[in-house]
């Protein structure tokens, strides 16, 4: 299954608690679209977040983000070195 890196620029600072809440809600939304959120990385002070999701398509990843009102600024299919 393809792997996607979602890049988010929220436009405001986010607390650790906000990031944790967003990530928890996203992982549930991803499941509803047959996807799995694997990791998230963030800089709360900058309002930037990066998530790694395994999904059949970019559309599934976008739909999961839309479900929680957290659109991606950029979504890139990536590959992992073995």
Report the share of the chain in percent with pLDDT over 70: 100
What's the half-sphere exposure (Cβ side, CA atoms, 13 Å) at 48? 4
Mean pLDDT of the chain, nearest integer:
96
- Encode pLDDT of 31-55 as tens digits: 999 999 999 999 999 999 999 999 9
| Residue 62 scores a pLDDT above 90 | yes
| Residue 82 scores a pLDDT above 90 | no
CA 33, CA 51: separation in Å to the nearest integer?
16
CA 24, CA 29: separation in Å to the nearest integer?
9
8 strand-pairing partners: 49
Model-level pTM?
0.92
In degrees rounded to 5, what are phi and psi of residue 65? -65, -40
């Amino acid at each position: 299954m393809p792997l996607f890196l979602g890049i988010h620029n929220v436009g405001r600072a986010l607390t650790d608690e906000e990031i944790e809440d967003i990530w928890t809600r996203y992982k549930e939304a991803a499941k509803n679209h047959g996807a799995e959120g694997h990791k998230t990385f963030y800089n709360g002070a900058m309002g930037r977040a990066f998530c790694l999701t395994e999904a059949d398509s970019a559309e599934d990843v976008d739909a999961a983000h839309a479900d929680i009102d957290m659109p991606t600024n950029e979504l890139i299919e990536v590959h992992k070195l073995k």
